[in-house]
Amino acid sequence: MSVGAQAAVAAQPSAAETLSFQATDVTGTHSVAVSDVQRALPAGAVAQSLASMMNLPQNVPWALRDDSTGAFLEDAVPIGQQLGQEAEAKLTVTPRTHLG
Is the pLDDT assigned to residue 9 strictly greater than 50?
Answer: no
| CA distance readout (Å), 28 to 21, 22, 60, 82 | 16, 12, 17, 23
Rg value, the chain, Cα = 15
* Contact call for residues 36 and 14 (beta carbons, < 8 A): no
Looking at residue 99, its pLDDT comes to 59
Domain ranges of the chain: 19-95
Q: Return mean pLDDT, the chain.
A: 85
Residues 52-71 have a mean pLDDT of: 95
Query: How many residues appear in the chain?
Result: 100
- Assigned CATH for 19-95: 3.10.20.90
Q: How far apart are CA 24 and CA 70, in angstroms?
A: 14
Please tell me the pTM assigned to this model. Answer: 0.82
Looking at residue 62, its pLDDT comes to 96
Q: Kindly indicate the confidence band of residue 16, based on its pLDDT and cuts at 50, 70 and 90.
A: confident
Tens digits of residue pLDDT in 77-95: 999 999 987 668 999 999 9
Q: How far apart are CA 92 and CA 100, in angstroms?
A: 23
